[in-house]
Amino acid sequence: MAPATRYALAAAALAQAATAAGVIEMPITFRNTYAMVSVEAGTPAEEHFLRLDTGSASTWFVDKKCAQGACDNYSGSPRVGYDVDASSTGEQIGNSSTVDYLGGQIAGPSVRDTFRAGGATWNQTFLNVDESSFAQIPGDGFLGLAFDSISDGATHTVPETLLAEGALAQPRFGLYMGTELNDTNGRPGDGALTLGGSREDKYVDGEMTWLPVMKDGTPRDYQLWRAPLLKFSGSHQGADGQTVSRGRDWEGDFKASGVFDTGAGSISVPSLDVYLMYQSIGWDFAAILSHEHIPLCTEFNATWSVTFSFAGGPGDKYRDVVLTGDQLAVPGFANRDDACWPPFESGNQDGFFLFGTPLLNQFYTVYDFGGSKPEEYTPRIGFGQLKKEFKPRI
């Protein structure tokens, strides 16, 4: 037997083992600050880069025409289109959908085809998009990681497809974004999406903080990775060197909540609370809006911090997620390398906080369904402080 064939067989055996263990590792590639994973789809297989999005549920990528100019592309990255007719394993499933996101819109028919990633092979439904306004996305589409209850066009999410097939060792996925959060130069960085397990033992220093996930909509259902928020506070050093703390407490009212969304590039705070949020860290939001205050990256330091207190259990009323100022530094504001993006944006909806990448990139996160069937789900989301060697570089 030729050596090449022997190696191929050994690789195939390893892939089998990975699948049998029910844990699928998908390395993360950063392109222009977007976290992407790749899947191989169809027969013959073609590789597609998909943006990780815990804030939506559909998996989609562009079709051939959309990739070749029918859809706007200002991303500076190549796009690979998928053609269901060119794949011997692809089929239309007779549905289609138009999906509205906060930042764009897509539309296309629903299809089913073979997916391969991390040594596993499975049949996956997704939208084969012929219209997309996501001109800036440096890849082919999205991998939606919110709940299947909000998937579009009769498709199912990747995690819940694998869960329903009994292909995952545990009903969860873990996410480590990596040390390099800007661009990994066309290769995977050190971040990974782990389907069917989580790697706290490797990445996390200390205990995980688990937040309960709440239901949404009518009838009530798990839709997003959303947790009830009881209060927030910020603290900084006042002129006299004393620590000054301020915040808002919805004590017992369950009036606020936060959605954890890797598809959002900011932390958005309701407009009613955003001035107080800035005051709490010693900054003036009006001065930022009027460009009198261009935040320098040196102003993002550990002398200030923000604490989001989510609902806990019987023994612990609050479960806190804490960020220090240095962790919130994202350079590039006002086209300057020494200026950093204002840490909070103003949102419209009262009581609605959106926690995007500036928060999520700082933690090891675990998205746990807590059961293998939708009727058995008791979902929670876990946050772990990264060990020193895994902390992102600014």
- The site for ligand NAG (CB under 6 A) is made up of 32, 67, 73, 75-76, 78-79, 94-95, 121-123, 153-154, 182-183, 282, 298-299, 301, 303-304, 331
Note the helical H segments in the chain. Answer: 3-21, 64-65, 158-164, 200-203, 271-280, 285-289, 357-360
Least distance between ligand NAG and beta carbon 300 (Å)? 7
Query: How far is residue 312's CA from residue 317's CA, in Å, rounded to a whole number?
Result: 5
- CA nearest neighbour of 361 among 179, 213, 201, 214: 179
Least distance between ligand NAG and beta carbon 213 (Å)? 23
User: In this structure, is the dihedral angle defined by the CA atoms of residues 91, 84, 32 and 191, taken in order, positive or negative?
Assistant: positive
CB closer to ligand NAG, 278 vs 367: 278
Q: Can you tell me which residue has the tokens 């906080």?
A: 353
CB closer to ligand NAG, 115 vs 390: 115
Query: How far is residue 285's CA from residue 268's CA, in Å, rounded to a whole number?
Result: 13
CB closer to ligand NAG, 53 vs 299: 299
CB closer to ligand NAG, 22 vs 331: 331
Least distance between ligand NAG and beta carbon 183 (Å)? 4
User: Rg of the chain over CA atoms, in angstroms?
Assistant: 22
CB closer to ligand NAG, 123 vs 243: 123
Give per-residue burial for 322-348: e unless 16+ CB within 10 Å, then b. Answer: ebebebbbbeebeeeeebbbbbbbbbe
User: CA distances (Å), 252 to each of 18, 117, 212, in order?
Assistant: 46, 44, 16
Least distance between ligand NAG and beta carbon 61 (Å)? 12
Least distance between ligand NAG and beta carbon 200 (Å)? 29
CB closer to ligand NAG, 356 vs 384: 356
- CA nearest neighbour of 318 among 382, 251, 261: 251
44 Cβ neighbours under 8 A, 6+ residues apart:
87
CB closer to ligand NAG, 123 vs 245: 123
Least distance between ligand NAG and beta carbon 37 (Å)? 17
CB closer to ligand NAG, 271 vs 298: 298
Least distance between ligand NAG and beta carbon 174 (Å)? 24
CA 23 to chain CA centroid, nearest Å: 19
- E strand or H helix at 364, and its extent? strand 363-368
Evaluate whether 305 touches 323 at the Cβ level (below 8 Å). yes
Least distance between ligand NAG and beta carbon 257 (Å)? 26
CB closer to ligand NAG, 154 vs 169: 154
Instruction: Quote the DSSP letter at residue 387.
Output: P
- CA nearest neighbour of 304 among 273, 333, 283: 283
Least distance between ligand NAG and beta carbon 376 (Å)? 22
Instruction: Quote the DSSP letter at residue 10.
Output: H
Least distance between ligand NAG and beta carbon 267 (Å)? 16
Query: How far is residue 175's CA from residue 321's CA, in Å, rounded to a whole number?
Result: 17
CB closer to ligand NAG, 220 vs 393: 393
